[in-house]
Each structure stands twice: as structure tokens, then as C-alpha cells.
Amino acid sequence: MTVKSGTMSSNGYRRANELAAAREHAECLSEVLGILVRPLLCIHTAQLPDTHFVVDGIDVLAPAQLIGWLRSLLPALLDMEIIAVRTAARSKLDVRDVPAPVTDPEPHENTGTGGPRQSPPLRPGPPNGSLPPPERWRRSPPEPPSPRPSHARPKRSAKSRRREKLVVEALTSFAVLAVAAVWLPHAVQSTQRKYATPPTAVASATGPSQPPALQSGSFSCAGRGHGWTLTVPPAGSGTYQVQWSLAPDGPWTTTTWQPGSPLNVGGLPSGGRVFLRAEAAGAAADAPESMAMQKTPSQSC
């Protein structure tokens, strides 16, 4: 593996496709989860010019440097953003398992027609309306085994096998990086809270003691120039205190959520985010609370 004039190549072939795939998957996750995802390429089998270098704005690492590099990154997400990312990942991503190797179709006998080969059909997406995985992560259904003919088919070249192995390793490394970017900051903060001395909690004499479950709401436009209105379905049978803000660190606006009624938050700008946190009315300062984040529509209202 060599890097010259900002171009990475191996055995005389440029590796621009692998870099483009890493950037494409990072942009896909960034759009789905609503956070900034940093692309990374970890190459396992090739001899690299250095254990860590940057090509076309993408970090390229040797396997031995991956864990240390991840641990050296500073936490970039707040507690509320981590909860929002986890909620978005569960509702919008179809995570099954580690992607299977991408293989080229086996060569067929020359029929003289010169027509293109037919690709196997893709497995349909999930029926519940969640976002299907990117095209490069979809796997074709297994073909039924067929008896091998007496004469063996021509084997694939060593260059084709190396290319398949590099693609699989790049996708696997990117999946590990995406999981680590979400999990590591939350694990560090959980460890800090675990060894901190918990304050004494005083239960409220009246009202619910648990925070409401904040479901995904819907946006409506009452009139142009008035901003978007977020409507959250009713939650529980008690009275709750709700705070909302356009930024994760405030300022916060406080309102009361009556039992059996939806929560309405109006005057929201287009193309932004609204953060919600709710707790039982009259609860102690250290009482548990629910948190959520939703993106406002990009159209003007």
C-alpha cells in the first residue's frame, strides 16, 4: 500500500472506491442519526506506509492502532444527544449482523451474445417502515446448492480475492467505528456516575413518581409565518412538567402537560431541532426525567 500525491494505491491500482465507500456510509449514518459521523478506513492485511495517515480527508489506520485511536478521541455528545441517537438508531436502522463478504458473480460460459450478467435480487426491506440498510450492506438470499459438474469451473484470480477481502475489511472496520462512536462516550459517563455518591432521593407525596414516555410527535403548520407546531401524543395519567429548547444546553421554556392531553410546542423554526425533557410535576430535583429530540421539517412555515 502506497500513498503518493494524495492518492492511495495497492499493486498499481488506485483505492479510491474504498475511500468513497467509507465516506458514503458516514454520510448515510449522519443523515439518519442526525449527528456528525467521522469516516475511517482500517486495513488489516496490507503493508501500510505508516500506522496512521490521512488520505483525502479520511483517517487510515492499521488494526493495532484502532482501539488506541478511538480511546484518544474526546467525547462529542451530551447525555441528551446520546439518548436521541440511540432512539433514532432503534427506530430507523435495520441492524441484523456483520455484513457478509461481497463476492463477484462466478464467470459463465461465453454464449457469444455479449449481454450483461443478471445480478441476483435483493432481499426486501423490513415491513415496519423503518429505513432499510445501505445498498452495500444488503445481502443476496443464498442460492440452493447444485451438484458440481465433473469439470471444475475456472477459479477467480488472486487480485479479485484480494479486492473482495479489502472491501469486507473496510466495511467491518467502519461498522466498528460507528458503534464505538456512539457507545464509548456513554460508557465513560456511565462509569463516572457509577462511582459517584448518589444523593438521597425524597419521593413526592402526590402525583406520579416516574417520568412520561416521550413518543415521536408530528409537525403541523397553522399558518405561514407562525412556525411549526410539534404535537406529542398523551403519555400516562398524571400531570408532568415539560421543558423544551432549540439547543441542547438551553435556554429552556417550561410548560405543564395535563393528563390525557397532547403536548403542543409552537413557533418552531424550519430545519432545526427541538429538545424535550419531562418529569413528574412536583418531583425532586434529582428525580428521573425523560428526554427526546426531533428535527423540524426543512420546508418553511
Quote the strand ranges of 200-239, DSSP E. Answer: 218-221, 228-232
Residue with cell 407525596: 205
Which part of the chain has CATH 2.60.40.10? 218-295
CA-to-CA distance for 184 and 143, rounded, in angstroms? Answer: 39
Q: Are 265 and 237 in contact (CB under 8 A)?
A: no
| pTM, rounded to two decimals | 0.31
pLDDT band of residue 147 (cuts 50, 70, 90) is low
Listed in sequence order, the DSSP H helices in the chain are 16-33, 63-72, 79-92, 158-194
- As a CATH number, domain 218-295 is 2.60.40.10
Listed in sequence order, the DSSP H helices in 41-96 are 63-72, 79-92
The least confident of 107-111, 282-286, 287-291 is 107-111
The least confident of 11-20, 99-108, 279-288 is 99-108
Annotate 144-177 with b (16+ C-beta within 10 A) or e (fewer).
Answer: eeeeeeeeeeeeeeeeeeebeebbbbbbebbbbb
CA-to-CA distance for 55 and 180, rounded, in angstroms? Answer: 22
Looking at the chain, the whole-number percentage of residues with pLDDT higher than 70 is 74
Write the pLDDT tens digit of every residue in 21-55. 888 988 988 888 888 888 988 988 888 888 888 98
> How far, CA to CA in Å, does 17 sit from each of 8, 24, 55, 186?
10, 10, 13, 33
Q: Is 85 left (phi over 0), alpha (psi -120 to 50) or beta?
A: alpha
